Structures are given as structure tokens and as C-alpha cells.
Amino acid sequence: MAIAFKKFSLMMGCILLILACWAGPVSAAESRSDADLRREIDDYVRSSLRANPIPAAALAVSRNGETFYAQGYGTDGDGREITGSTPFPIASLSKSFTALAVLQLAEKGLVDLDAPYATYFPNLAPKDERVRKITVRNLLNQTSGLNDKANPDMTRSPQYRSLEEINQALDGVKLAHDPGTAYSYHNPNYQYLARLVEQVGGRSFADYLKDNVFEPLGMNHTFNVGTTRQIVDNPAIPRGHYVLWGRPVSREEPLWFIDGPAGIVSTAEDMARWMQAQYEGRLLGPELMEAYHQAGPIGPYGMGWIAEKDEREGRTISHSGILWTYKAEETIFLDRKLGIAMMFDSGLNAFVDYSAIVEGVAKIMRGEEAGIPLANGRNIETALIALTAATIGWGVYSILRLRRRRKRITTVRLVVSTVLRLLPALILPLLSPILSFVGGGRVVPWFGIWTLMASLIVWLAALALANLANLACRYRLYFQARR
């Protein structure tokens, strides 16, 4: 009997093993409860914010047409707790809303995507006749031929005050490329689109979004602004920050006209509703919704989204949003019906990888481990503090050592030393063209460069001053020896 029972147990064990294999592997995410996933996400985000100098953030996760998670982290400048209903600027995530508005008008037959933009503005009188060839689709795909050098955006002073004003200024613009021949990310492309929505839709851009996007989706705490001044003056919006020596520094967002490309303010709860709408088909018919989520003819930038596809994740659409004291990230995995968006009250920083935090949340939702990299913002900032202190110490030591020097400084050595020691001082004024080259032609104002890498600039300044002081001492000793 015992032997028979053992055989029966062995047979049943084999059957169960076969059935388990037949059923296929169960992912770690599926094996954990939703409560466990939320707890793991919460722990990961809190650890990420501690590892990077980010005072506050809000996270939205939508899954299978429902809000899976909408949570705030940290406090604002007045000590108020950040929640899922706290408003944050979403910056360039706004472009997908603007593109949607244009496509809605196209679906109604009011806009032809392949018609010249000038068709809708007969009073335009451009000096560069190529402007008349810019189509609505060119503007959506960022292939209009405009860029920051030909048509200043962030560096423009004074800034534009209305969409009508920027549209009129198109008369005096000379294109950098023929329309449709080159990709160049350029915010004014989406300002012209916002003006098109006003012209064809018969109301202000903000009102159009409210009536046709925000209210239908139940995004009751989302609104559009024209300039960053409206963000600064709104007490409900947390004050933005930049980072210096590992600490967030509160700072008013500089004046910037952002209506169209970057003017939407939203909450985590509302952004979850927005992401759900990307696969519900509530705001667009299936044909235009598919076009809305496709890459453009030149690179992955389509219509307000970066559209990509790979074997593992399937189709994804994403965008990042940058202001100088705020940041936002959004990724939607269309085939998985999963969307993740995060808003931060700290701006673009060379040493904080905001997109990696969103990717970490995506890993948790896939059932993978999400770790904090050693090269995180706080560790890099700490290293820069130590490097700055060491540079100052080296500068003082090198000057004291020179004064005790007995050996005569030759002309050749002085010339070589001059060239080498002037390099750090020359790098500082070259930061703007260097960043423009790296950033694909975007022209960054000096304040933006400061907020991007304040601690690095302080170190470069310390290095430049130490070398200049050393050089001055060398010249003094050189001429004293020849008297």
C-alpha cells in the first residue's frame, strides 16, 4: 500500500509539473498582488528621490484602462504635502495635447494635414517664400525647416506675448532647411499649431483644450497657460528648483512664452486619465488615432510623441518635458495598455536621470527588480563638491610652491603653461555652443546652462581661477628674473 501510494504521489507530481509547464511561466508582476506592486513602487520612488536632489514629485500609472496608481511625494515650499491632485507643469508633454487638437479638427474636415499652413492665414506675407510650403504635417513632425538659430525661442528677448504675435513674426523668418527635408525639434512649431487651432476652432487655444480634451476626459484639474509667469503666480503649483552642490535651490521659473508646446499644468490623477485615453479611442477615430501614434518620416518623432517599437515592449509612445525648474516624463506602452507619467519640481539637470526613474517603475510593473544606480545625482554632486574643494586646495598649494621655486622659468615653459592654464577659462564661454551642438541645434540661454549644471560650472570657475592665479604668479616671477 505504501509503495502504491508513493507511486501515485510520484505520478500526480509529474502530472502537476506537466500542467504547470503547459500553463506557461507566470511573471513576477502577475504573481504579486496589486498592493505589493504599489508598495514596491512607493519604496522605489522614495529611494530614487533621496538618491537625487528632487524635493517633490507626482507619479501616475494607468493599467488596462484604469488608474492603477496616482501618488505625490515630498512637500512644496510652504510645507504642504504633495498629493495625486497637486498641479505640476508638464512642459513639453503638452505637445501631444496640441497635436490631438489639430487631429480632431482634421477629423471634422476643418484642417488638411498636408495643406500649407499659410492656407489658413491668407494675410501672411513671408520674406522667405519657402515658408508658404510648410504643411501642417511638417509642423507636427518638427520638419518645418525652422530651428532655434533661425527662429530664436528660449533666448528671445523680449518674449512673445500671444500666439497671434508669434504668427505675424513668421513673415520675417528665414528657414534653416527646406520644409520636409530635415528634423529639428523647435517649440514654435507647436505655437503655430496652437494658433491654427484658434483660427479654425473659433476660440482661444486654452478654451479649445478645456472643451474638447480636458472636460471629456474628466481632467478637471488640468488647464493651459500662455507664459511661465502664470505658473509662478499660481500658489497651488509647487515652486520649482535647480540643484547646486547636491541641494535643491528654490527659484522662480524665468519668463518664457509656452502656449502650445509647453503650457499645460496637470495632476497625477488627471495624467492617468489622459494615458488611458490613448487606447480607448474616445477623442479620435481609429484611423487618425493610429496615425497619431506613429513615427514621422524622419526619425521617431511623430505627432507630439516619440514613437518606437521593439520586440520586447511592442509599440511605445513617449515624451519628456523640460522647464528650467520643472521636469516631466511620460511613457505609454500601447500593446501592454500601461502608461507611466511623472512630474518633478526640479528642472533639467545633467546629473539626474529622470527617465531612468520612470523606467524603474516600468520594470517593477514587468516584475523585474528596479535598483538605484551608484552614479546617481546625489553621489555625483558630492563628488563635485569634493573636486571643487580639492581644486581650491591645489590652487593655493601650487602658488605657494611657485614662490619657493628656485629654478628659473623659461620662455618656452611659460608659453606652454599659458596655453594649458587658459583652457578652463575658455571652456566656460564655449558652453553654449557646445550644448547647442550636442543638443541638435537647440540654443540654450545662460540661465538654462546654469540650472543644467550649476555645480559643474562652480568647479570649472574654481579651476579657471586657480589656473589664472597660478599663471599670474608665473608671469610675475618670469619678469622679476629678467630685471
Per-residue pLDDT at 11 exceeds 90: no
Least confident range from 57-61, 78-82, 186-190, 380-384: namely: 78-82
Per-residue pLDDT band for 440 (boundaries 50, 70, 90) equals low
Tens digit of each residue's pLDDT (9 = 90 or more) over 16-28: 333 334 333 334 4
Mean pLDDT of 471-482: 84
Tell me which residue of 339, 284, 317 sits closest to 67, measured CA to CA: 339
Tens digit of each residue's pLDDT (9 = 90 or more) over 296-328: 999 999 999 999 998 888 999 999 999 999 999
Per-residue pLDDT at 267 exceeds 80: yes
Per-residue pLDDT band for 133 (boundaries 50, 70, 90) equals very high
Per-residue pLDDT at 118 exceeds 60: yes
The domain defined by 37-366 folds into Beta-lactamase (3.40.710)
pLDDT for the residue numbered 291: 96
pLDDT for the residue numbered 445: 81
Mean pLDDT of 142-159: 89
Mean pLDDT of 147-171: 90
Per-residue pLDDT band for 446 (boundaries 50, 70, 90) equals confident
Per-residue pLDDT at 176 exceeds 60: yes
Residues 6+ positions from 483 with CB-CB distance below 8 Å = none
pLDDT for the residue numbered 5: 32
pLDDT for the residue numbered 120: 97
pLDDT for the residue numbered 31: 60
pLDDT for the residue numbered 22: 37
Where do the domains of the chain lie? 37-366, 377-480
pLDDT for the residue numbered 150: 87
Mean pLDDT of 435-440: 74
